[in-house]
């Protein structure tokens, strides 16, 4: 037996086991990567669990405020030139809807979007924080390029898990209202009828377009938001942000995403409508829109979408940040 005595081993600085006596404290496997990523003395990281909860709360509140603009946007995008246009513009769409169905007509399809908005925002922010916590530098700072990749990952995740089935059902509900005899009586009845007629795949129409749309959406938004936040905070990554500043930055990020990917949103809406059978796939839909309606058709509904998205992103980021602040006080994850 060797007489050599091994030097005592001490926990490295910053380790979750540092300064603890006795046996090491067990850390759940799912949290190890997060705990290891937290920099000492750098920017404070948001635990993915907090991000999921805060994102869900923010998403639910936001959609209740902004849904009428989403309804008008969808109606204008479905108003194809192949048939005589039903609406002359945004105000005419609102007027006809209120005359025919009352003010509650502007909220047709809200239930399907509300049921999806909570998990959508939860998945988005949870995935973004999870990815960004792995990609920050030694000081906990996330640069713009990496935030773009994190946003892309968050957008793809929410598209596959939540957005595609949610959006398909929402568009079908809104489009169904244009029919002389609407057949969907409510959210669960509509979902049952869609699955009965088309199977589960009936709720996944336009998946490719949805992934492209949501991926580019969140990539643009988080890129712009992170760039503006880094500029505002300068050398102090933990500098507090006023909710009004957060809202203004969110509105700018939302506007950038609208101008960047409205064509994808139009294609996605067509592929999820009741007349989706006219298109073979995403590329066929884009080709037919360009051929029969012209390039301008790719930007149908831009104005109402711009208003909704700017308000949407501003509200979501404000509520998200404020909820995280509260969670940091009552939920200790350090």
Residue 81 is predicted with a pLDDT of 53
pTM: 0.70
The 8-class DSSP code of residue 44 comes to P
Question: What's phi and psi for 85, nearest 5 deg?
Answer: -55, 135
CB 287 within 8 A of CB 251: no
The string of pLDDT tens digits covering residues 174-183 is 778 677 788 8
Residue 325 is predicted with a pLDDT of 92
Residue 111 is predicted with a pLDDT of 78
Q: How far apart are the C-alpha atoms of 179 and 183, rounded to whole Å?
A: 8
Q: Please give the radius of gyration of the chain, using alpha carbons only, rounded to the nearest integer.
A: 23
Q: State CA 263 to chain mean position distance.
A: 17
Residue 210 is predicted with a pLDDT of 85
Cβ-proximal residues to 209 (8 Å cutoff; 6+ apart), any chain: 264, 267, 268, 271, 282, 285
Tell me the residue length of the chain.
334
70 closest CA partner among 4, 163, 151, 184:
163
Helix%, strand%, coil% for the chain, nearest 5: 70, 0, 30
Per-residue tens of pLDDT for the chain, all 334 residues: 444 445 444 444 444 444 444 444 444 444 444 443 445 556 778 889 999 999 999 998 988 888 888 788 888 877 765 467 888 888 999 999 999 889 889 888 787 678 888 999 999 999 999 999 999 988 888 999 999 999 999 999 999 999 888 878 877 877 786 777 888 877 778 888 888 888 888 888 888 888 988 999 999 999 999 999 999 998 888 899 999 999 999 999 999 999 888 888 888 888 877 778 889 888 999 999 999 999 988 888 788 778 778 988 999 999 999 999 999 998 887 6
Question: What's phi and psi for 224, nearest 5 deg?
Answer: -65, -45
Residue 138 is predicted with a pLDDT of 83
Q: How far apart are the C-alpha atoms of 67 and 139, rounded to whole Å?
A: 40
């Amino acid at each position: 037996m060797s007489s050599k005595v091994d030097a005592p081993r001490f926990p490295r600085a910053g380790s979750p086991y540092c300064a603890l006596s006795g046996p090491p404290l067990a850390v759940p496997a799912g949290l190890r990567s997060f705990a290891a990523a937290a920099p000492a003395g750098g920017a404070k990281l948001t635990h993915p669990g907090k991000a999921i909860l805060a994102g869900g709360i923010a998403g639910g509140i936001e959609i209740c405020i902004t849904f009428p603009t989403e309804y008008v946007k969808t109606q204008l995008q479905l108003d194809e030139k192949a048939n005589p246009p039903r609406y002359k513009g945004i105000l005419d769409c609102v007027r006809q809807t209120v005359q025919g169905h009352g003010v509650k007509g502007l909220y047709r399809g809200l239930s399907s979007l509300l049921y999806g908005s909570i998990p959508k925002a939860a998945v988005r922010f949870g995935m973004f924080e999870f990815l960004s916590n792995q990609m920050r530098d030694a000081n906990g700072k996330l640069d713009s390029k990496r935030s773009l990749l994190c946003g892309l990952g968050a957008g793809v995740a929410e598209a596959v898990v939540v957005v595609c089935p949610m959006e398909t059902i929402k568009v079908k509900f809104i489009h169904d209202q244009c029919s002389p005899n609407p057949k969907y009586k409510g959210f669960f009845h509509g979902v049952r009828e869609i699955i009965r007629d088309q199977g589960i795949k009936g709720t996944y129409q336009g998946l490719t377009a949805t992934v492209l749309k949501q991926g580019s959406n969140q990539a643009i938004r988080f890129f712009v938001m992170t760039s503006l936040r880094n500029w505002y905070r300068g050398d102090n990554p933990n500098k507090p942000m006023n909710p009004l500043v957060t809202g203004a930055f969110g509105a700018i990020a939302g506007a950038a995403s609208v101008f960047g990917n409205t064509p994808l949103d139009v294609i996605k809406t067509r592929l999820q409508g009741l007349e989706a059978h006219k298109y073979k796939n995403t590329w066929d839909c884009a080709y037919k829109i360009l051929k029969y309606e012209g390039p301008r058709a790719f930007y149908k509904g831009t104005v109402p979408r711009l208003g909704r998205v700017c308000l949407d992103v501003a509200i979501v980021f404000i509520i998200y940040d404020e909820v995280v602040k509260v969670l940091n006080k009552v939920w200790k994850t350090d």
